[in-house]
Structure 1
Amino acid sequence: MTTTLALLAVVLLARSCVCGDEYHRHTNNWAVIVDTSRFWSNYRHVANALSLYHSVKRLGIPDSQIILMLADQMPCNARNCFPGQVFNSRTQKINLYGENVEVDYRGLEVSVANFITVLTGRHEPGTPASKKLDTDENSNIFLYMSGHGGDGFLKFQDFEEISSQDLADSIQEMHVKKRYNEIFFMVDTCQAGSLSNALESPKVVTIGSSQTGENSYAHHSDSELGLSVIDRFTFSTLDYLQRMKVGSSIRNGTLRDLFNFYDPKMLFSTPAYRTDILGRPIDEVLITDFLGSILDVHLHFDEEAYPVEATPILSSDTTATDNVFDSSAVLDFPVQHSKESAPADGRKFGFSGKFLVVAAMAMIGAVFVSTKPI
């Protein structure tokens, strides 16, 4: 009996050491940014979407991993006194519709059916890669929507609606198909919090600009354009994200920090969020887990497979940023070391420290068994 317990202890120790090497972090970030409103009076909804689009690009997500859907052609609208341009401020310093914008769905292409297709991946054969959300179980997704809504629905193109149950079903299908690791769902519309009520899929966190029964409001208007150019909730979100620069204390901000940043007195509404189905505290979730670039390198040491002497390599990944934003917010990347450097995980003589511990325990167990009188 004692011999059996000793061997069992050795096996359990070995298993715990091996399991400790498993890697659970996501490997890529994607963004789906949607403006659902048409007509000139909804200019601010296009500006909302474009503002978030530039923010996630500045933080490191490339265009190849962003799906941008704009329901109306505000830059080309006959009422636009600044043809080909969209602004979110009175100063008109930043053209949100510059040459570095890639719109994947525009005009009538922005529909409930196409939006659900993007999420679930049920595209027709021949669909361009730029219109697909090519994610997997290692992908974190930032989903942003702006438009007009009500209790449990969001309007598309002013003639159709997507319900909270439609959203819940789509995300559940994504979960079944292993199309995401975690999702951060943000929506700026009236009664935005109601859109997440039906969600039951795991590893999803949501925030809306207003609670059920509350409206969401515009922030400021432009006298030349003659209408509002951004909503209060999106304006506050941009205010926070623009502070995220290398060297600043906010650079490693969490979702808790972002949620606490919203001021109901400024918004004229109360942000509503759900964290119960995420599976981990939002105090531990970095904003860059969803809105930043991902670069994680696993080094493999094998003398036989890689006989050529390695040299130190400095990562040269410099994700392009939009030139209208502060280019100082470039993410720090780790340095890869050569085999002459100290091996990873405390390796000695080609073996990891954990392997040596397991081997030692196995030898002790073998000696114990061999010396046990029969």
Structure 2
Amino acid sequence: MAFTNLMLVFIFNLLYLSLSSGIEIPEEFQKSNHTNNWAVLVDTSRFWFNYRHVANVLSIYRSVKRLGIPDSQIILMISDDMACNPRNPRPATIFNSAHEQINVYGDDVEVDYRGYEVSVENFIRLLTGRVPPDTPRSKQLLTDEGSNILIYLTGHGGDGFLKFQDSEEVTSQELADALEQMWQKKRYNEIFFIIDTCQASSMYEKFYSPNILATASSLVGEDSLSHHVDSAIGVYIIDRYTYYVLEFLENVHPNSKRTMSEFLAVCPKSACLSTVGVRKDLFNRDPSKVPITDFFGSVRPVILTTDPINIVETPKRKKKTENKTKVQVKRDYVPQFPMHLVQVT
């Protein structure tokens, strides 16, 4: 009899909590292991005529920082030979638009691998975690099984390979095996792989590890083209696919409702002049239901509870008298493109 009464009390309390709190935890939230976001951004080329590639990667770097991924969780690999190149008419600057709206090589750029450190060996070691024991934390991908990783690559490539510094190549099979090692060692939850190069889709064809969503700027047999020249600098300054990606990202904010399916359709052939490739058979979720901030933003820890929380009252502080003549400056990221070129949604 006592046991029956106890069960009735338990059921009554459970029903009371569910009705009174009104909290409904989404099924996707309960099942998610996603706890943190990282980005690996790599420009695999060097030399002045490849100016656009470093502009590509620095623009993506700036976008993910604006959306909340801290520098401590971004690995940036560039040759770093453009800003101070003697042919650069504007020393210490890199622009991604002929309007020169913003210098993407700003004061807050933290380069982790530069010059000849940008090699196939270092890239594969970074992904798999097989770095020397004396490697600084800033040069390590300290991910775990709860990490969503954005991998962005740009440079020169061909059918099944990506060139590094015009001296070596990483093959699609080597890259696929590195990602499999990451999965076996529980170094990621999900990966979003982006590559902007010629015949780019060949680099994800060999992938066989789960939870990977991939997109590429061109299919096998196609070139990935540049967007426009800055006549003051004398070279192409951004690639076509990355230009439209940035135009899309400028309309994304940390609380955006934009989805990955919208991102995957960002550059139709009429704009890119090449066919954007997408591979989603390894990805377990519907991209139309995946927020873009699952890869391009930060993850804020949230605890859902129905238990009462005791909040200790704190003494009210006296308001400081402010000088009304003082103008407060609002600090924010400057748009990467001129505002008349970006449609705000």
Query: What's the TM-score once normalised by structure 1's chain length?
Result: 0.75
Is residue 286 of structure 2 the alignment partner of residue 274 of structure 1?
Answer: no
Q: Which residue of 1 aligns with 2:296?
A: 291
Could you list the per-position Cα deviations for residues 180-207 of structure 1 after superposition, in whole angstroms to 9, with x for gaps in the alignment? 0000000000000010010000000000
Is residue 261 of structure 2 the alignment partner of residue 253 of structure 1?
Answer: no
Q: Which residue of 2 aligns with 1:39?
A: 47
How far apart are the structure 1 equivalents of 2:254 and 2:155? 33
How far apart are the structure 1 equivalents of 2:232 and 2:156? 24
How far apart are the structure 1 equivalents of 2:288 and 2:178? 27
How far apart are the structure 2 equivalents of 1:123 and 1:245? 35
How far apart are the structure 2 equivalents of 1:289 and 1:136? 15
Q: Which residue of 1 aligns with 2:18?
A: none
* Displacement of 1:301: 7.8
How far apart are the structure 2 equivalents of 1:153 and 1:274? 18
* Displacement of 1:322: 6.8
Q: Which residue of 2 aligns with 1:237?
A: 245
The one-letter code sitting in structure 2 at the alignment partner of 1:242 is E
Match of residue 48, structure 1, among 23, 39, 56: 56
Q: Which residue of 1 aligns with 2:112?
A: 104
Contact 2:180–2:209 (8 Å) recurs in 1:
yes
Runs of 4 or more off by more than 6 Å in structure 1? Answer: 300-303
SS for the counterpart of 1:229 is strand
Q: Which residue of 2 aligns with 1:168?
A: 176
Match of residue 324, structure 1, among 331, 334, 345: 334
How far apart are the structure 2 equivalents of 1:311 and 1:170? 53
Classify 1:296/1:23 alpha carbon distance in 2 versus 1 (closer, same or farther; 3 Å). Answer: farther
The one-letter code sitting in structure 1 at the alignment partner of 2:286 is P
How many residues align? The count is 293
The one-letter code sitting in structure 1 at the alignment partner of 2:147 is S
Classify 1:68/1:246 alpha carbon distance in 2 versus 1 (closer, same or farther; 3 Å). Answer: closer
Classify 1:99/1:82 alpha carbon distance in 2 versus 1 (closer, same or farther; 3 Å). Answer: same
How far apart are the structure 1 equivalents of 2:152 and 2:69? 14
* Displacement of 1:291: 0.3
How far apart are the structure 2 equivalents of 1:26 and 1:167? 23
Give matches, 1:116-265, under 5 Å: 116-245=124-253, 251-265=256-270
The one-letter code sitting in structure 2 at the alignment partner of 1:259 is L
Contact 2:68–2:254 (8 Å) recurs in 1:
no
How far apart are the structure 2 equivalents of 1:272 and 1:59? 25
* Displacement of 1:259: 1.6
The one-letter code sitting in structure 2 at the alignment partner of 1:127 is T
* Displacement of 1:229: 0.2
* Displacement of 1:299: 5.4
Match of residue 64, structure 1, among 65, 72, 75: 72
Q: Which residue of 2 aligns with 1:83?
A: 91
- When Rg is computed on C-alpha atoms for both structures, the one with the higher figure is 1
Could you list the per-position Cα deviations for residues 138-195 of structure 1 after superposition, in whole angstroms to 9, with x for gaps in the alignment? 0000000000000011000001000000110000000000000000000000000010
* Displacement of 1:93: 2.1
* Displacement of 1:282: 1.1
Classify 1:148/1:298 alpha carbon distance in 2 versus 1 (closer, same or farther; 3 Å). Answer: same
How far apart are the structure 2 equivalents of 1:245 and 1:309? 32
SS for the counterpart of 1:158 is coil
Could you list the per-position Cα deviations for residues 6-29 of structure 1 after superposition, in whole angstroms to 9, with x for gaps in the alignment? xxxxxxxxxxxxxx8954240100
Contact 1:100–1:322 (8 Å) recurs in 2:
no
Could you list the per-position Cα deviations for residues 199-252 of structure 1 after superposition, in whole angstroms to 9, with x for gaps in the alignment? 0000000000000100000001110110100000000100110011478xxx21
Worse-matched range after superposition: 252-261 or 94-103: 252-261
The one-letter code sitting in structure 1 at the alignment partner of 2:183 is H
* Displacement of 1:261: 2.5
The alignment-based identity, stated in percent, is 53
* Displacement of 1:70: 0.2
Query: What's the TM-score once normalised by structure 2's chain length?
Result: 0.81
Classify 1:39/1:218 alpha carbon distance in 2 versus 1 (closer, same or farther; 3 Å). Answer: same
